[in-house]
Structure 1
Amino acid sequence: MDQITLTEHEDDTRPGTPDLRTVDCDPDFWYPVAWSHELKAGKTLATRYAGQPIALVRPTEGAVFALEDRCAHRQVPLSKGTVKGQSVQCCYHGWAYGRSGRCIDVPYLGKGKLPNGVRTYPCREEGGLIFVFPGDPALADSVPMPRLAHVGDPEYRTRQFGPRVACHYTFMHENLMDMNHQFLHRRQMGQIRARFLGQDRGENFVEARYSFARTDTHQPLAEALIFGRHRDLKGKEQPVEEVVTVRTEYPYQRLWIVDKDGDLMMDLWVAYVPQSADQRTSRAFGLLSVRRPKIPFLIDLIWPALAVFTNRIFEEDREVVELEQLAWDAQGGDRNREVFPVVNHLRALLTRCGRPGRNART
């Protein structure tokens, strides 16, 4: 087990390093911007990435495509328009735009007088999510899509969650990576203690491993299904029966749990997608896959309770990270004094892989 000492502290707030809360996401990755079920056939959907308005369009036939959500004429949102074949018509004057973003029809002009079109975004649909590539479109084909938990695997049942959070995306990465915050969830999970087992890191990832020990006798059923059945051993050290691994592989985050036999019990994939231009509001897109137990119908019976439990956990996390953002706003910068090496390595990763924001300060 790695020992946590202050000599391992890697300070990413040294002079010349930008405030982490002003570091933008690197746009040259695939980011989810909507759930597939949110966009019906023959309809449009307004969404955004870091202040960029995006109109998703699903023709009655063919794949989804994504355009800048502004008509080139009067800047009215194309998401208010009408889908016609493989194009979308602006609701104002009927200007039509195809998949390429090119204007293909202005009803009152001749075909030889068509104006310029709008920006198009590379777009893909996988795992019940609609992704766009908001960066350099020339890079899109060379950047791999993320692995999305166990969507579609019959051995697992997967739930979706996608709440909006009023904080910079980096707070969310820190929250999940640092399992020492389980004290926050004592009302939902009882008294448990995280034990740090070790870490790994590379150019584009940071990973931490934990186990959990119960320090009281009460364990909620939903928590036992996720983290395993733990009991108070009355002062004795809890054996390591499950290992929880948290990994930020930029820009995504994953948490998975394996039992003592090495079998995968749970797999969580999540992306924190900035919504506002200053990236201080985010939308989380998460996929939580839980292995089906030996009794086939058992997971269907407990699924509603599991959903309630995980929602309550996330609500507690959401409240506290939004409080962190409010503190940043009030103090005019990041005054965090982090002593956990894994989190400092994570902060350095997010700074290194991100882009300087428009309001970056050094």
Structure 2
Amino acid sequence: MTETTSPGGPAGIAAPDPGSAPTAQPRPGGLPDLRRVGAHPDHWYPVALSSQVRGKPVAAVFGGERMALYRGASGAVHALEDRCAHRQVPLSMGVVEGDALRCCYHAWAYRGDGRISQIPYLPKGVGRPPRGVRAFPVREAYGLVFVFPGDPAKAEATALPVLPEYGSARHRTMTYSRTVRCHYSFMHENLLDMNHQFLHRGVVGRLQPKLLGYEADARSVEARYLFTHGGGRRNRGAGLLAAEGIGGSDSADVMTIRTEYPYQTLTLVPEKSDHPVFSLWVAYVPEDAEQRTCHVYGLLMIEKPRVPGAVHLAWPLIRRFTERVFAEDRMAVEAEQRAWDEQGEDRNHEVFPLILDVREVLRSNGVPLSPCARPCG
């Protein structure tokens, strides 16, 4: 594990001269372009909200792999390859009957394991039906449907994220589901690199982040920032989210952000408090085969204030604030992706060691994308 401490950190750890310019770390030769590295499929990824999977099948996707989700009569959600074995028509266009999914075209029926249970017009004893389609392991948790797109033999031993605040009587959760047109790595970098607060100056005012330090290992990077508000107009939702109360006040907050492959978390602890007032868990799920578009699933778990009903009153303001911040971040990362598309390579000149380290985590834990992710010829 590597620990880096910024100026003003704990005694005994060397800190750079505050007046010196940052030194860019050269990119080692031969490393693959991170934007050509795919998300590793041997993890649980959310692909839909549980509330979306009702009586009708739902189309979902991971890295170009199309899936049909459906909830059978037993209540369990199943995920099948979204192509009928007969004529390749999407099964997500089909009909749920009991615990089976029937194709809308010739009414071939599939069980939750992907096996064909019925071909209505196939005489008994005449021929053998195809084996069916691929089925993906599925779990439901935190109001989300998770699938395991990788090796199914590894699914049972792979843990879901642990989110004790979700469902707690002391917390209320705000759920996000948004598509962003960029490689998932841009999202990890955006959240970890809090030096971009100038982008949000119209929402948070003159917010001043100071990196207290960070730790990195082969699978994770965790950064700690001290945030102080230096003036300027601040959105009311920002203060409510930071638990400043209805009247509002300036505060110094400690924010901890962690990428632990493949997920990301953020917590904020206000000044004079010993526990977070909110926690964010987020996953970036690639949609297309080239992974230049991702779907963001986020769970913002907010501690309820002591005043009964206050969180209900504050909810619209908090939602409006977070949506504005997300919209500005999306604008920036999609611009980064457009530049990559135009240049055909990553020409970033990154100077922040923290981001260089998270890039290495994402690169070393991901998988190479096919050189021809889209159909060739």
Task: Work out which of the residue numbers 145, 153, 171 in structure 1 matches 2:168.
Answer: 153
Identify the range of structure 1 (147-156 vs 26-35) with the bigger mean alpha-carbon deviation.
147-156
Query: Which residue of structure 2 aligns with residue 303 of structure 1?
Result: 315
Tell me the distance in 2 between the aligned counterparts of 1:8 and 1:85: 62
Query: Which residue of structure 1 aligns with residue 69 of structure 2?
Result: 56
Query: Which residue of structure 1 aligns with residue 11 of structure 2?
Result: none
Tell me the distance in 1 between the aligned counterparts of 2:25 and 2:238: 33
Task: Work out which of the residue numbers 89, 106, 109 in structure 2 matches 1:76.
Answer: 89
Q: Does the CA-based 8 Å contact 1:148-1:287 persist in structure 2? A: no
Which AA in structure 1 matches 2:103?
Answer: C
SS in 2 for 1:48: strand
Query: Which residue of structure 1 aligns with residue 259 of structure 2?
Result: 248
Identify the range of structure 1 (194-203 vs 170-179) with the bigger mean alpha-carbon deviation.
194-203
Query: Which residue of structure 2 aligns with residue 129 of structure 1?
Result: 144
Task: Work out which of the residue numbers 108, 112, 119 in structure 2 matches 1:95.
Answer: 108
Query: Which residue of structure 1 aligns with residue 217 of structure 2?
Result: 202
Tell me the distance in 2 between the aligned counterparts of 1:107 and 1:23: 44
Query: Which residue of structure 1 aligns with residue 10 of structure 2?
Result: none
Query: Which residue of structure 1 aligns with residue 198 of structure 2?
Result: 183
Query: Which residue of structure 1 aligns with residue 44 of structure 2?
Result: 30
Tell me the distance in 2 between the aligned counterparts of 1:119 and 1:341: 42
Displacement after TM superposition at 1:307 (Å): 0.4
Identify the range of structure 1 (350-359 vs 221-230) with the bigger mean alpha-carbon deviation.
221-230
Displacement after TM superposition at 1:300 (Å): 0.5
Tell me the distance in 2 between the aligned counterparts of 1:27 and 1:160: 23
SS in 1 for 2:234: coil
**How has the CA–CA distance of structure 1 residues 111 and 47 changed in structure 2, closer, same or farther, with 3 Å as cutoff?**
farther
Q: Does the CA-based 8 Å contact 1:254-1:269 persist in structure 2? A: yes
Tell me the distance in 1 between the aligned counterparts of 2:108 and 2:124: 12
Q: Does the CA-based 8 Å contact 1:59-1:86 persist in structure 2? A: yes
Displacement after TM superposition at 1:217 (Å): 4.9
Tell me the distance in 2 between the aligned counterparts of 1:218 and 1:82: 53
Query: Which residue of structure 1 aligns with residue 230 of structure 2?
Result: 215
Query: Which residue of structure 2 aligns with residue 107 of structure 1?
Result: 120
Unmatched tracts of structure 1, length 5 or more:
233-237
Task: Work out which of the residue numbers 46, 49, 65 in structure 1 matches 2:78.
Answer: 65
TM-score normalised to the size of structure 2?
Answer: 0.89
Q: Does the CA-based 8 Å contact 1:20-1:170 persist in structure 2? A: yes
Q: Does the CA-based 8 Å contact 2:237-2:317 persist in structure 1? A: yes
Displacement after TM superposition at 1:124 (Å): 0.6
Tell me the distance in 1 between the aligned counterparts of 2:118 and 2:227: 62
SS in 2 for 1:337: coil
Tell me the distance in 1 between the aligned counterparts of 2:38 and 2:233: 42
Displacement after TM superposition at 1:61 (Å): 2.3
Query: Which residue of structure 2 aligns with residue 235 of structure 1?
Result: none
Q: Does the CA-based 8 Å contact 1:205-1:349 persist in structure 2? A: yes
Displacement after TM superposition at 1:149 (Å): 6.3
Displacement after TM superposition at 1:143 (Å): 0.5
**How has the CA–CA distance of structure 1 residues 220 and 97 changed in structure 2, closer, same or farther, with 3 Å as cutoff?**
same
Q: Does the CA-based 8 Å contact 1:121-1:132 persist in structure 2? A: yes
Whether 2:186 is the aligned partner of 1:171: answer: yes
Which AA in structure 2 matches 1:340?
Answer: F
What CA deviation, in whole Å up to 9, does each residue of 1:98-153 have, x standing for no partner? 01111111011135522220000000111100000000000000100012462211
Q: Does the CA-based 8 Å contact 1:43-1:59 persist in structure 2? A: no
* Aligned-CA RMSD value: 1.8
Equivalences for 1:6-17 in 2 at 5 Å?
10-11=25-26, 13-17=27-31
Tell me the distance in 2 between the aligned counterparts of 1:215 and 1:106: 69
Query: Which residue of structure 2 aligns with residue 314 of structure 1?
Result: 326
Tell me the distance in 1 between the aligned counterparts of 2:124 and 2:356: 58
Q: Does the CA-based 8 Å contact 1:96-1:104 persist in structure 2? A: yes
Identify the range of structure 1 (337-346 vs 147-156) with the bigger mean alpha-carbon deviation.
147-156
Tell me the distance in 1 between the aligned counterparts of 2:206 and 2:6: 24
Displacement after TM superposition at 1:60 (Å): 2.7
TM-score normalised to the size of structure 1?
Answer: 0.93
Tell me the distance in 2 between the aligned counterparts of 1:231 and 1:92: 62
Which AA in structure 2 matches 1:53?
Answer: R
Task: Work out which of the residue numbers 2, 6, 28 in structure 2 matches 1:2.
Answer: 6
Q: Does the CA-based 8 Å contact 2:235-2:321 persist in structure 1? A: no
